[in-house]
């Protein structure tokens, strides 16, 4: 049994966007803080820190989950994907470009989390309609856009991806 | 917004988890998905000495049909049960209610049994278990026992789980031939906790109506056809309920009367 004592730092190793990363963490260290403060991956934003706002949503083994409700020590040997892993260095991926086109963001605080949720949905349910997209987006709070541009962007990308299948 | 310090235990099997529970008692807390527990720990509403992570235990990951019930292991997530191909066929009420449990993102990790063990009076899964008259399977070093839904949840976030026990599975009876169910919920935003949630299961003789979000635990009543408004009013008053930041007790009673009527009528119409 793996048993990690409180107050001590323990080695943690997992893949972040395909690259092996290592660090030390006390059991209580949130994954969101480990990503930002230990690994310096600032793309994942921290909002409410109790699972409500969706800003810190990342993907663990493909599933969109709240990084503030996970501990770094739970990520041993897992595959973590964050917003930094979406686009090639020279551009944006389809969802990112569509958000820009449809004014799906203003301040951008909620955007990384929203992208990670929509990425999973796009992989698993490319046929998702607007109602389903809105249902998934209900797990995110955006105070700038009124959601309309985000929904438009997603509907456009899902339509294109589904049309090619 | 950060949890207090805790030991993190990742047992290799249920036996190891039970040993820690036996040794550490009330200081230990089982964590499956951690979608409620983690939030409460971040808010310092809970500070366990040791967190026992059971999310990776294969022996708790099965969804199986056993003796007229769907038995759901303690590590099965809400998303996994929702994606189980037989769900809508075997228990349509669960298939309707699960999309109301949290959000897409919390259902990926949040478990069925974790929600039951958490025992929030406004959450959907305790209501589903109560209306369907399901059971919870508990284990400890002393042995295993089965607790009926009505004896399991004792009050607000209070259950019959002893300090050295853990939930290993929950059993939801499958829909009986000729039975019909319905569900409605009012929340401030889809995925938020219910202000009032009403579920019903009926057959030609009677309808069983359950209400979440009003009393400290789900309220259930069995009514013979035809069901009149006075019965729904009496039921609404019997649940008690209190004013809080989301709604007044009076508003909740009104919702029980109105959503109760709608749900009961949907069952009646589907039966006729």
Confidence at residue B173, expressed as pLDDT on a 0 to 100 scale: 98
**CATH entry, B60-173, from 3.40.50.300, 3.40.50.740, 3.30.465.10, 3.65.10.10:** 3.30.465.10
Confidence at residue A88, expressed as pLDDT on a 0 to 100 scale: 83
User: Considering only residues 21 to 40 of chain B, which have any Cβ-Cβ distance to chain A shorter than 8 Å?
Assistant: 34-35, 38-39
Q: What is the ipTM of this complex?
A: 0.96
Length of chain A: 165
Phi-psi region of B102 (alpha: psi -120 to 50; beta: other; left: phi over 0): left
Give the distance from residue A130's alpha carbon to the nearest chain B alpha carbon, in angstroms: 15
Q: Which of A5, A33, A138 sits opposite B103 (nearest CB)?
A: A138
Q: In which band, very low, low, confident or very high, does the pLDDT at B191 lie, cut at 50, 70 and 90?
A: confident
Of A77, A104, A86, A88, which is closest to residue A15 (Cα–Cα)? A77
Q: Chain B contact for A33, CB < 8 A?
A: yes
A 10 A CB-CB count for B40 gives: 18
Of residues A162 and B91, more confidently modeled: B91
Q: Are B137 and B167 contacting, i.e. CB atoms less than 8 angstroms apart?
A: yes
> Quick one: which H or E segment has residue B126?
helix B124-131
Show the tokens assigned to B10: 């990742």
CATH 3.30.465.10 in chain B: give the residue spans. 60-173
Q: Chain B contact for A125, CB < 8 A?
A: no
Phi, psi of B7 (to 5 degrees): -75, 145
CATH 3.30.390.50 in chain B: give the residue spans. 181-271
For A158, what's the count of Cα atoms within 13 Å in the CB-facing half-sphere?
24
Question: What distances in angstroms separate CA B137 from CA A23, A146, B160, B171, B228, one per listed residue?
Answer: 39, 45, 11, 8, 37
Whether the predicted pLDDT of B148 surpasses 80: yes
State how far the Cα of B32 lies from the Cα of A40, in Å rounded to an integer. 28
Phi, psi of A47 (to 5 degrees): -110, -90
Are B2 and A28 in contact (CB < 8 Å)?
yes
Are A139 and B99 in contact (CB < 8 Å)?
no
Of A125, A100, A67, A121, which is closest to residue B38 (Cα–Cα)? A67
Fold of B181-271: Enolase-like; domain 1 (3.30.390)
Please name the residue of chain B whose CA is at the shortest distance from the CA of residue A7: B5
Confidence at residue B50, expressed as pLDDT on a 0 to 100 scale: 98
Confidence at residue A134, expressed as pLDDT on a 0 to 100 scale: 96
Buried residues in A102-135 as b, exposed as e (16+ CB within 10 A): bebbeeebbbbbbbbbbbbbbeeebebeeeebbb
Whether the predicted pLDDT of B190 surpasses 80: no
The predicted model gives B242-265 an average pLDDT of 95
**Helix and strand element counts for chain B (H, E):** 11, 14
Residue B245 DSSP one-character state: S
Of B72, B84, B125, B82, which is closest to residue B104 (Cα–Cα)? B82
Q: In which band, very low, low, confident or very high, does the pLDDT at A164 lie, cut at 50, 70 and 90?
A: confident
Please name the residue of chain A whose CA is at the shortest distance from the CA of residue B107: A65
Q: Chain B contact for A70, CB < 8 A?
A: yes
Confidence at residue B193, expressed as pLDDT on a 0 to 100 scale: 82
Phi, psi of B23 (to 5 degrees): -80, -40
State how far the Cα of A29 lies from the Cα of A58, in Å rounded to an integer. 16
Q: In which band, very low, low, confident or very high, does the pLDDT at B1 lie, cut at 50, 70 and 90?
A: confident
pLDDT tens digits for range B165-175 = 999 999 999 99
Task: Kindly report the average pLDDT of chain B as a whole number.
Answer: 96
Confidence at residue A81, expressed as pLDDT on a 0 to 100 scale: 98
Q: Are A67 and A32 contacting, i.e. CB atoms less than 8 angstroms apart?
A: yes
Are B16 and A1 in contact (CB < 8 Å)?
yes
CATH 3.30.43.10 in chain B: give the residue spans. 7-53
pLDDT tens digits for range B67-117 = 999 999 999 999 999 999 999 999 999 999 999 999 999 999 999 999 999
Fold of B7-53: 3.30.43
The percentage of residues in chain A with a pLDDT greater than 70, rounded to a whole number, is 99
Task: Kindly report the average pLDDT of chain A as a whole number.
Answer: 96
The predicted model gives B248-259 an average pLDDT of 96
- How would you write chain A as a 3-class SS string? CEEECCCCCEEEEEEECCEEEEEEECCCCEHHHHHHHHCCCCCCCCCCCCCCCCCCEEEECCEEEEHHHCEHHHHCCCEEECHHHCCCCCCCCHHHHHHHHCCCCCCCCCHHHHHHHHHHHHHHCCCCCHHHHHHHHCCCCCCCCCCHHHHHHHHHHHHHHHHHC
Show the tokens assigned to B161: 């789980």
pLDDT tens digits for range A68-127 = 999 999 999 999 999 999 998 889 999 999 999 999 999 999 999 999 999 999 999 999
Question: What distances in angstroms separate CA A165 from CA A118, A161, B42, B159, one per listed residue?
Answer: 18, 7, 43, 49
Distance from chain centroid for Cα A42: 12
* Domains identified in chain A and CATH numbers: 10-85 (3.10.20.30), 94-164 (1.10.150.120)
Residue B165 DSSP one-character state: -
Q: In which band, very low, low, confident or very high, does the pLDDT at A163 lie, cut at 50, 70 and 90?
A: confident
State how far the Cα of B139 lies from the Cα of B17, in Å rounded to an integer. 10
Opening angle at CA A31, ends A28 and A33, nearest 5: 85
């Amino acid at each position: 049994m793996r048993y990690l004592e409180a107050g001590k730092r323990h080695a943690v190793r997992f893949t972040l966007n395909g690259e092996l990363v290592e660090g030390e963490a006390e059991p209580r260290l949130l994954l969101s803080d480990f990503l930002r403060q230990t690994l310096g991956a600032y793309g994942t934003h921290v909002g409410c820190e109790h699972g409500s706002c969706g800003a810190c949503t990342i993907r663990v083994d493909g599933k969109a989950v709240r990084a503030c409700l996970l501990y770094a020590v739970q990520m041993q040997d897992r595959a973590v994907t964050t917003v930094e892993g979406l686009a090639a260095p020279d551009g944006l991926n389809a969802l990112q470009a569509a958000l820009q086109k449809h004014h799906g963001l203003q301040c951008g605080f909620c955007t990384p989390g929203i992208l990670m949720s929509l990425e999973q949905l796009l992989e698993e349910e490319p046929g998702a309609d607007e109602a389903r997209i809105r249902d998934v987006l209900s797990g995110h709070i955006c105070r700038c856009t009124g959601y309309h541009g985000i929904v438009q962007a997603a509907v456009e990308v899902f339509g294109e991806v589904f049309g090619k299948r | 917004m950060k949890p207090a310090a805790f030991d993190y235990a990742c047992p290799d099997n249920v036996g190891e988890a039970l040993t820690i529970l036996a040794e550490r008692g009330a200081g230990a807390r089982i964590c499956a998905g951690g979608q409620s527990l983690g939030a409460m720990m971040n808010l310092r509403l809970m500070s366990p000495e040791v967190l026992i992570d059971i999310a990776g235990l294969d022996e708790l990951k099965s969804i199986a049909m056993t003796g007229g019930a769907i038995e759901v292991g303690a590590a099965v997530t809400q998303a996994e049960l929702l994606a189980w191909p037989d769900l809508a066929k075997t228990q349509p009420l669960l298939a309707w209610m699960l999309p109301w449990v949290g959000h897409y993102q919390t259902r990926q990790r949040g478990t069925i049994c974790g929600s039951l063990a958490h025992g929030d009076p406004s959450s959907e899964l305790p209501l589903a278990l109560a209306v369907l008259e399901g059971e919870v399977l508990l284990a400890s070093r002393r042995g295993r026992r089965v607790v009926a839904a009505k004896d399991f949840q004792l009050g607000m976030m209070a259950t019959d789980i002893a300090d050295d026990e853990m939930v290993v599975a929950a059993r939801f009876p499958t829909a009986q031939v000729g039975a019909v169910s319905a569900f409605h919920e009012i929340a401030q935003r889809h995925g938020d906790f219910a202000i009032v949630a009403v579920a019903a299961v009926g057959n030609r003789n009677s309808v069983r109506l359950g209400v979440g979000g009003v009393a400290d635990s789900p309220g259930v009543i069995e009514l013979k056809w035809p069901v009149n408004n006075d019965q729904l009013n009496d039921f609404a008053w019997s649940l008690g309920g209190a004013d809080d930041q989301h709604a007044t007790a009076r508003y909740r009673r009104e919702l029980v009367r109105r959503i109760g009527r709608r749900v009961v009528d949907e069952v009646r119409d589907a039966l006729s």
